[in-house]
Structures are given as C-alpha cells and as structure tokens.
C-alpha cells in the first residue's frame, strides 16, 4: 500500500492544481497535453527518443506494431507541438534524424512519475478488476 492510498494520508487536490483550471474556451492545460501525448504511439515515441536521437527506421524498429504511416503522423504531431525536432542531413539519400527538444525532454519527469505509479499499483488494479468482474458476473 503506498502513502497516497493509506487512510488519512494527504492526497493532492487535483482540482486546485492550475493544470486543471478551465481556460474559458473549453479546455485546460492537462487536457491539451493529454490530447498530445496521451495516445500510445506518442508516448512510445517520447520514451524511445528520450535517451538519444534516432533515425526514422531505427525508431520504427524500436516501437513494435507501429506502421510507417502512424509513425510519420505521430512524429509530425509531436514536432508541431514542439516536443520533437526533425533534422535533415544533406546526404544521398537524405538522412533524417528525430530528437526530443528541451520541452520534449522535460515531459520525461511526469511520464516517469506515472510509470512509477503504474508499477507500484498495477497489481492492486488487476486484483480490483478481478473482484469487480467476479461480483458483476454473480449480481
């Protein structure tokens, strides 16, 4: 049991965090960021580019199941949002390399925290799911 799940432990009130405040046009910072990096492919691209820049095919090989088209779309989206930088070297054929920008590297901290939480709580969630499914089948 982690500290946040113990009775009486202080848990941050997410609704008081400025990242969850509505901006008046139907969005909030966390929603906007989740729309960008909340999908599996974007997260896997960020994870794989975090240690070092990679060329397109090396990145594609490192992400099991991603199609060439989906990787292209994902990289363009992350580049548009300032998280990935695309560098073209004037060789024959042109060599294209992708790297996280400083902004892209900075997102590793919250993604890492989420990964830690997931690792610590996955079994609790699986057990809860089993209990729920067992009770739902009976009732």
Domain residue spans in the chain? Answer: 26-106
Asked whether 13 and 19 are in contact (CB, 8 A), the reply is no
- pLDDT over 80 (residue 80): yes
Which residues have C-beta within 8 Å of that of residue 42, sequence separation ≥ 6? 36, 74, 77, 78
pLDDT band for 45, please (50, 70, 90 cuts).
very high
- pLDDT over 80 (residue 10): no
Asked whether 28 and 21 are in contact (CB, 8 A), the reply is yes
- pLDDT over 60 (residue 104): yes
Q: How far apart are CA 90 and CA 97, in angstroms?
A: 12
- pLDDT over 80 (residue 6): no
- The whole-number pLDDT of residue 16 equals 81
- Best-predicted range by mean pLDDT among 18-22, 106-110, 113-117, 122-126? 122-126
Q: DSSP string covering 74-104, please?
A: HHHHHHHTTSEEEEEE-SSSPEEEEEE-HHH
> Residue 61 CA to chain centroid, in angstroms?
19
Which residues have C-beta within 8 Å of that of residue 59, sequence separation ≥ 6? 45, 48, 49, 71, 75, 98
Asked whether 46 and 35 are in contact (CB, 8 A), the reply is no
CATH of 26-106, one of 1.10.10.10, 1.20.120.1200, 1.20.1050.10, 3.30.70.330: 1.10.10.10
pLDDT band for 3, please (50, 70, 90 cuts).
very low
Triad 48, 44, 116: Cα angle to 5° = 90
- The whole-number pLDDT of residue 61 equals 97
């Amino acid at each position: 049991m982690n500290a946040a799940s113990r009775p009486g432990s202080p848990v941050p009130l997410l609704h008081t965090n400025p990242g969850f405040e509505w901006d008046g046009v139907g969005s909030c910072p966390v929603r906007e960021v989740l729309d960008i990096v909340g999908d599996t492919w974007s997260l896997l691209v960020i994870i794989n580019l975090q240690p070092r820049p990679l060329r397109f095919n090396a990145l594609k090989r490192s992400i099991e199941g991603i199609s060439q088209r989906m990787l292209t779309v994902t990289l363009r989206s992350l580049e548009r949002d300032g998280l990935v930088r695309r560098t073209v070297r004037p060789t024959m054929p042109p060599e294209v390399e992708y790297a996280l920008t400083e902004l892209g590297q900075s997102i590793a901290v919250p993604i890492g925290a989420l990964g830690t939480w997931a690792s610590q709580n996955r079994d609790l969630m699986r057990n809860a799911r089993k209990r729920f499914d067992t009770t739902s089948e009976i009732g």
